[in-house]
């Protein structure tokens, strides 16, 4: 069976994990999510979340090419 690639896109952290079919964590990481504020309120930039996910996929693929 294959592995599962999981992401948790929160407001303070972006977490990723590669989990085996039987539930063992093969790889995990977390990165602080940037928060911005202006006169209209507090927000995050979706492109930064996207870029972080793409970066993590590349890192996991490099470390675990199977």
Structure confidence by residue, pLDDT tens digits, 23-48: 999 999 999 999 999 999 999 999 99
According to DSSP, residue 1 is labeled -
pLDDT of residue 1: 73
pLDDT of residue 3: 94
Give the chain's domain count. Answer: 1
Provide the pLDDT confidence category of residue 66 given band limits of 50, 70 and 90: confident
Instruction: List the domain range (segments joined by +) for residue 41.
Output: 4-63
What percentage of residues in the chain have a pLDDT greater than 70?
100
Q: Are 25 and 39 spatial neighbours (Cβ–Cβ below 8 Å)? A: no
What percentage of residues in the chain have a pLDDT greater than 90?
92
Tally of CB atoms within 10 A around 29? 15
């Amino acid at each position: 069976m294959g592995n599962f690639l999981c992401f948790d896109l929160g407001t303070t952290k972006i977490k990723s994990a590669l989990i085996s079919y039987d539930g063992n964590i093969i790889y995990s990481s977390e990165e602080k999510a940037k928060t911005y504020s202006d006169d209209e309120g507090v927000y995050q930039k979706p492109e930064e979340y996207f870029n972080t996910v793409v970066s993590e996929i590349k890192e996991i693929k490099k470390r675990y090419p199977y």
